[in-house]
Amino acid sequence: MEKFLDELTKIVEDAFEASGYDGIYGKMSLSDRPDLCQFQCNGALPAAKAYKKAPFMIAKDVVEKLENSDVFEKVFTAGPGFINFIVKDTFLTQYLNSMKSEEKFGLKAAENPKTIIIDFGGANVAKPLHVGHLRSAIIGESIKRICKYLGHTVIGDVHLGDWGLQIGMVISELYRRKPELPYFDDNFSGEYPKEPPFTIDELSEIYPAASKLAKSDEAAMEAAKKATFELQKGKPGYIAIWKHILSVSTADLKKNYGALNVEFDLWKGESDAEEYIPDMLKYLNENNYTHKSEGALVVDVAKEDDTYEIPPIILLKSDGAVLYGTTDLATIVQRIKDYNPDEIIYVVDKRQGLHFEQVFRCAKKTNIADEKLKLQFIGFGTMNGKDGKPFKTREGGVMKLHDLIQLIKDNAKGKLKDDRDFSEEETEEIARIIGTAALKYGDLSNAVTKDYVFDLDRFSSFEGNTGPYLLYTVVRIKSILKKAAEDGVNASNSILTPTNNVERDLMLKLVKFGEAIEGSYEDKAPNKICEYLYDLSNLFNRFYHENKILSEEDLNKKASWIALLKLTLGILDTGLNLLGIESPERM
């Protein structure tokens, strides 16, 4: 199916052409005066310049061609040449009934499906997830789901930080605490223990202790750097410790990401790109892309028309150590080799913008990535506390993600009414779903690049533009449909024309589903889906309050309304799923 607005545009384009004008001027849009009309076309104004004719006269010509339309109830001009439209209810319901019977509500799959890799997550092993990891996970998961829904092949990669100095810090701290472990015995020749020498809780304590010591003790920092160097050179005992760190950390990460309904196709890290670095550096050197600057190996990525300074990207420091840019370039090499993607999307803190600008420019300049590969950086803003600063615990520390999830779950549980006949197990599950919806919707309803304030009470409210409000709407519809089924009322095969204004408004919002999803995909903006779902929920609740659905005596009208509710529920559930939000059966 064509999107509703596209179908209208095609009709108006034909009218422009029939009037002797280029059809390009017939593009339709939603009305910015919904009190006057539903849709509008402003094409007569730019057409006036091309045809040296008053825009009002061009608009009048087009309106005359549409006067006997089967699609429009009313077409009229306004102002200097705006054309306003109200569609016929018969056309509206015809489109709705087609949506109802089509897969994905008539949304067309991508004509040229892409292979898209989304790099999100970015957690460092040996450290617990904290609130700073929240946005990448939530936004990346939603973008992944939206791309998949439109028919693209999408590969989500957590891209762990698993090969840097933090690993050397853990190894050196472990040596200080347990020097007797076989990993530190250069003469050890047996099999290393299969059980890790630490739990996730112990590991979570080891790293901050090591980091704190290294910042104040030069010898400790040197020991960490030495351990990192020896690990990356393949020292067997350190490789064994590293594998323990990975297994313990990854199990915990999967648990915490899973609590947010976030899943990854790949659990790769910086270490996976290590083997690609030597050949990549050899290629860059042999093709004269690199030069030395103060002992470091760099590639210039600045352009003559730059309006701000873009420093060279450093591939090797003067001591021969690689940097994040080196690893990120090698990861692009690896991804091209393994998956030949059309697009790689990085969902990362916007403060990393310059870094990725350097990496992307270097990849293109050196032909590591050809012109057809799109490299896109989606930089997100910061989640702040009410003081406007990055969100902290009451004690001023960085809150662990697990603790934040528990906090918002407990808040949701406290708002569930005690008089419901929920078992303790069901209460816990409903609180989990509501809490996760509050957290994720509170994030995703903001523009990705925008900093926002984490407000627990507002996010978890059952009123207003919140996740719980959307869930409450979904549950209300499920309850009505369940009661209708118990009463023996089935949905009609066809939705009938609307009998009142709010029913018509609800229908008009439903037919805009395709625009909302495609617009969100084009801009990589889940907040557009949030806005659509919130508006749809408001319209349904108005419809619910103004019409006695279950007590309606006209059985045909009631059956039509049940069909309309089923369509509304399907679209709300689909939209929530694209945000990574579940919906309960009751609450």
DSSP calls for 303-366: -TT-SS--PPEEEE-TTS-B-HHHHHHHHHHHHHHHH--SEEEEEEEGGGHHHHHHHHHHHHHT
CB 431 within 8 A of CB 412: yes
Contact 314, 325 (CB under 8 A): yes
Rounded Cα gap, residues 20 and 43, in angstroms: 14
395 pLDDT band, cuts 50/70/90, is: low
CA 161-163-169 angle, to 5 degrees, is 100
CATH number attached to the domain at 4-87: 3.30.1360.70
In which band, very low, low, confident or very high, does the pLDDT at 565 lie, cut at 50, 70 and 90? very high
Q: What pLDDT does 400 receive?
A: 86
- Longest Cα–Cα distance of the chain, Å, equals 93
Question: From the CA atom positions of the chain, what is the Rg in Å?
Answer: 29
Fill in the DSSP letter of residue 421: -
Judged against a pLDDT cut of 90, whether residue 415 lies above it is answered with no
Cα–Cα distance measured from residue 450 to residue 341, given in angstroms and rounded to the nearest whole number: 29
**Percentage of the chain surpassing pLDDT 90?**
88
DSSP E strand boundaries for 151-238:
153-157
Hey, is 396 helix, strand or coil? coil
**Three-class SS state of 51:** helix
Judge contact between 466 and 428, C-beta under 8 A.
no
Q: What is the pLDDT of residue 111?
A: 93
Which of these, 206, 127, 124, lies nearest to 172 by C-alpha position?
206
User: For the domain 115-160+268-384, what is the CATH code?
Assistant: 3.40.50.620
- What would the pLDDT profile of 246-283 be if each residue is shown by its tens digit? 999 999 999 999 999 999 999 999 999 999 999 999 99
Mean pLDDT, the chain, integer: 95
Question: Average pLDDT in the 102-128 region?
Answer: 94
Return residue ranges of the chain for CATH 3.30.1360.70.
4-87
β-pairing verdict for 296-299 and 313-316: antiparallel
In this structure, the chain runs to a length of: 587
Residue 393 pLDDT greater than 70, yes or no: no
Please name which of 121, 406, 382, 391 lies closest in space to residue 253, comparing C-alpha atoms.
Answer: 121
Helix residue ranges, H only, 37-159: 44-51, 55-65, 89-101, 134-149
> Measured between alpha carbons, how far is 551 from 480 in angstroms, rounded to an integer?
11
Three-class DSSP category at 294:
coil
110 secondary structure, DSSP code: P
pLDDT of residue 581: 98
Residue 255's closest CA among 405, 40, 364, 457?
405
Position 396 scores a pLDDT of 62
172, 223 contact by CB (below 8 A): yes
352-389 pLDDT, tens per residue? 999 999 999 999 999 999 999 999 999 999 999 888 88
pLDDT for 419? 59
In this prediction, residue 50 has a pLDDT band, given cuts at 50, 70 and 90, of: very high
Kindly state the average pLDDT of the residues 564-579. 98
The confidence score (pLDDT) of residue 424 equals 87
Distance between first and last Cα of the chain: 35
Q: From the centroid of its chain, how far is CA 171?
A: 35
Start-end ranges of CATH 3.40.50.620 in the chain? 115-160+268-384
- How high is the pLDDT of residue 500? 96
19-33 confidence digits (pLDDT tens): 999 999 999 999 999
